[in-house]
Amino acid sequence: MTTEVAVDEVDVWVASLDVVDVDVRRFASMLPPLERRCADQLDPPLRRRFLSRRGLRRAILAGYTGCPPDQLQLRAGPGGKPELDGGDLHFSCADSDDVAVVAVARGRHLGVDVERLRPVKDAVAVARMHFTSNEHAQLCALPPRQRDVAFLWGWTRKEAYVKARGDGLSRALDGFSVSLASPTEPAPAEVIDDGTPGRWSLQAFVPAAGHVAAVVAEGPGWRLRCRQW
């Protein structure tokens, strides 16, 4: 059965990369020879993670396309962002520790990012270098115990936006503004302040305990569906 996603929806699949051997072998069988050879060059823990991450991506996309996972044709788009060859299905992937997220939409570019909640070394100094002056001021105004979480909420929003545009490392993170706040439930859509009103919108969300995430997609009016793999 083919998985459907409407033009006004964005699906985000949340999965664990901590899988058993049988799943690792199944994921490996979905990959083309070049990717399997790349995996074989890695140490065992990194190899398992590589195979799980790449196989999970193909398994999810196969559900939307109806194409067997090992026959999906992926290519590098502008900025090196992976794309499906043909069709109007767009996707973005991210992972942090053993939590992976795969965002899927039809007819709109998108990006997703996830981070594990953790202490951030020199969060204020990093924000001074990479965030806007207003974002940096917001971070400094918070009590010290709240700054790491706020920093990571802002970081995931910024990374998701850069990935949605496909700019890679060429876009400076201080060239646009995002919120550093934890989202309310249900999270309202946020508008990206980048000089192009209405072109991009954002949803921040909690994908799993101890993690924060954000997805950015083209245009307004889309609905986020979080799904468990």
pLDDT, tens digit (0-9, with 9 covering 90-100), for 137-179: 999 999 999 999 999 999 999 999 999 998 766 778 999 999 9
**For residue 89, what are the CA distances in angstroms to 7, 32, 56, 146, 169?**
10, 20, 16, 38, 24
Q: Count the residues in the chain.
A: 229
Sole residue written with tokens 């044709």 = 73
Residue 58 included in any domain? no
Q: How many separate domains does the chain show?
A: 1
> Which residues in the chain come in under a pLDDT of 50?
none
Total-model pTM: 0.94
- pLDDT for 197 equals 82
> Cα 59 to the chain's mean position, in Å?
17
Q: Are 167 and 177 in contact (CB under 8 A)?
A: no
Residue 180 included in any domain? yes
Residue 172 included in any domain? yes
| Edge-to-edge strand list for the sheet holding 200-205 | 110-116, 211-218, 200-205, 190-191
- Give the domain extent around 142: 112-228
Residue 17 included in any domain? no
Residue 11 included in any domain? no
CATH at 143: 3.90.470.20
Residue 120 included in any domain? yes
Residue 98 included in any domain? no
- pLDDT for 119 equals 97
Residue 52 included in any domain? no
d(CA 159, CA 215): 9
Q: Where are the alpha helices (DSSP H) in the chain?
A: 21-29, 33-40, 44-65, 123-130, 133-141, 144-165
